[in-house]
């Protein structure tokens, strides 16, 4: 598994946000379509031909310097109080042909739940390309299959991947 932008990429699918465990909320993208996960989200599924768009809202976005300062402060609070928090949640809005707009919750996979402006913008562009088929989900899965499992891409490598996936013709 590897995180790239707003995405958690496994061998079989791509999650918007963190891969949920148990009854935690999430949104899964596969070659067949989009699925909401979690006990409160109904486990709904739409094939790609029924999805008109996917976007995200409520994502924490900060400059690189502010992101690092926020993460340092959060780490200090946990160190002093011993009280860690669950990852921050954000909203994934799926525009569907039959059901209209559906809002689902996903948990952030990024440390501190904070993304840089470039990472956020490129991830939103990639969501659009995944929806239109300009970048198939298989492209992300193929990258994951070709990478060593125990190596996570650096932030610069993540941005390079997002730029590649948002500019390369299908």
Q: Find, among 111, 99, 118, 97, the residue nearest to 51 by Cα.
A: 97
The per-residue pLDDT string of the chain (170 residues; one tens digit each, 9 = 90 and over) reads 789 999 999 999 999 999 998 889 999 999 999 999 998 887 899 999 999 999 999 998 864 444 444 444 444 334 444 555 567 899 999 999 989 999 999 999 887 788 999 999 999 999 999 999 999 999 999 999 998 877 789 989 999 999 999 998 87
* pTM greater than 0.75: yes
What are the boundaries of each domain within the chain? 2-164
Strands (E) in the chain, as ranges, are 2-4, 7-9, 14-16, 26-29, 33-37, 45-47, 51-57, 60-61, 89-96, 100-107, 114-115
CB 9 within 8 A of CB 18: no
- DSSP label at 12? S
Query: What are the two backbone dihedrals, phi and then psi, of residue 12, each rounded to the nearest 5 degrees?
Result: -110, -20
Give the DSSP letter of residue 43: T
């Amino acid at each position: 598994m590897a995180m790239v932008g707003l995405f958690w990429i496994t061998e079989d699918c791509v999650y918007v946000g963190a891969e949920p465990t148990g009854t935690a909320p999430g949104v899964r993208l596969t070659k067949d379509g989009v699925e909401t996960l979690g006990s409160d989200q109904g486990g709904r599924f739409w094939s790609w031909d029924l999805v008109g768009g996917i976007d995200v809202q409520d994502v924490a976005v900060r400059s690189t310097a502010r992101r690092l300062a926020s993460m340092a402060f959060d780490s200090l609070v946990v160190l002093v109080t011993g009280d860690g928090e669950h990852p921050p949640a954000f909203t994934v809005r799926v525009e569907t042909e039959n059901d209209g707009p559906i809002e689902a919750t996903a948990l952030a996979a990024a440390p501190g739940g904070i993304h840089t402006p470039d990472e956020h913008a490129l991830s939103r562009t990639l969501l659009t390309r995944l929806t239109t088929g300009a970048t198939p989900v298989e492209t992300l899965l193929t990258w994951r299959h070709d990478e060593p499992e125990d190596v996570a891409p650096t932030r610069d490598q993540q941005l390079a991947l997002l730029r590649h996936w948002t500019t390369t013709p299908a």
